Amino acid sequence: MLPLTSAVFGLDVATRAVSLGAALRPDFPTLHQKVWGKPLVYLDSAATSQKPTSVLEAMQRHQELDNANVHRGAHLLSVRSTDAYEGARDKLAGFVNANTRSEIIFTRGATEAINLVAQSWGRANLRDGDEVLLTVMEHHSNLVPWQLLAEEKGCVLKFAPLDADQCLDVEALKALITPQTKLVGLPHVSNTLGCVNPIAEVAAAAHAAGALCMVDACQSLPHMPVDVQALGCDFLVASGHKMCGPTGVGFLWGRLALLEQMPPWQGGGEMIRDVYLQSSTFAPPPNRFEAGTPAITQAIGLGAAVDYLAKLGMDNVHAYEEQLGEHLWRRMSEVPGLALYGPDPTQGHRRAALVAFNHEEVHPSDLATFLDQDGVAVRAGHHCTQPLHRELGISHSARASLYIYNTEEEVDAFVEALGATLDMFASMESASIFD
């Protein structure tokens, strides 16, 4: 159960923002442990978020009491399982303000959702010489599927660059749109730079040229209000495990008129209307794109995660994370020798509560390994954005990413541990010189 009563929601917005992270921590059992004898400071939510007890209990309850396959079962367990599974679809539809529940397609995650669009809409509509416009900040999941399709269909991939503030260069993107452009795809929030892209403006530019717009919302949907109608996009994808839900489930939202025109991607049970030995007819969306037995328990868990976030209020989540993210940036800016990537929030730029960074002397993997010894969990690598890292002139970076359950005290503990780690490396280097 949520511990949030008038103790949090009765406060003014500024005070509430300070209180939110501490108020939510009892809901997340994973956070209450020690790592190498130190209290866990989990700063890797951009890779996967922790799950509240309400999500864990919803999944366990389904497995213990309602475990049965969905749809067409006449017995009570199947009815309850179906109601919970389809109820999760209703919750997601409301969460993103879809026009109809039929616009929500359950997938294994955002990666599968993008592949669905590429292999269904893309394969049916793209021809030799057509253009797909992406950005240099794409996650590999919104790059590799289009590369594979381009090799097959002969379509052309184009990429919008960064501006001087390491944000999307929107004017350059618009200039790259031509009559041959059929799809513009981009992240709502970069998982490395943290910049928030102006989706409504990009979607309008795409539509003016007769192109569609697809949004990777993995780093926005868990952190801010997302309204697909206000954004004006045509497709939107997200993963459950980044928004307090389980792994192995995500969804595609698509405009119903588009989904109705798209052919099936995978064949099997559930996605059919009638099957004959030589041919089949297919169900309407969403069933057309959900072949076989779905990830029932995971979808129910995702529905519970939506309940959790909706009860918090995404405006509250966003306000808290903006404040916490700016505190993270300010504290990291105080550490000598660090390069921080993405726009500076202290200069009025919107950005997510994550910071990718490098030190001038210490490799990011070494930093992450030694921070772990202090109980601090950060990520090191290319964050599935190798082309972006090459654009920045680096091969890897470390990344600290926050969520609703983090606090300013944890940010301070991270920066203190980071400083101690850098001091240790400096001492080792100094000792090696004099040896």
Contact 52, 28 (CB under 8 A): yes
Residue segments in the chain with a per-residue pLDDT below the cut of 70? 1-18, 430-435
pLDDT at res. 7 = 43
Q: Compute how many other C-beta atoms are within 10 angstroms of the C-beta atom of residue 139.
A: 21
Write down the pLDDT at residue 428.
Answer: 83
Q: Whole-angstrom Cα distance, residue 360 to residue 96? A: 41
Q: Which residues neighbour 101 within 8 Å (Cβ) at sequence distance 6 or greater?
A: 86, 89, 90, 93, 286
> Measured in whole angstroms, how far is the alpha carbon of residue 289 from the centre of its chain?
21
193 vs 383: CA distance, rounded Å:
11
pLDDT at residue 14 in the model: 47
pTM above the 0.85 mark? Answer: yes
The sign of the torsion formed by the CA atoms of 64, 70, 73, 74 equals positive
Q: Is the backbone of residue 166 left (phi > 0), alpha (psi -120 to 50) or beta?
A: left
Token pair for residue 69? Answer: 């396959």
* Annotated catalytic residue 384: yes
Q: What is the pLDDT of residue 431?
A: 65
User: What residue ranges define each of the domains in the chain, with the CATH number in brackets?
Assistant: 6-51+314-434 (3.90.1150.10), 56-310 (3.40.640.10)
Token code pair at residue 236: 């939107």
Residues 103/285, Cβ–Cβ less than 8 Å:
yes
Per-residue pLDDT of 2-57, as tens digits, reads: 444 334 544 454 455 557 999 999 999 999 999 999 999 999 999 999 999 999 99
Q: Output the pLDDT for position 427.
A: 87
- Tokens representing 204 are 């309008």
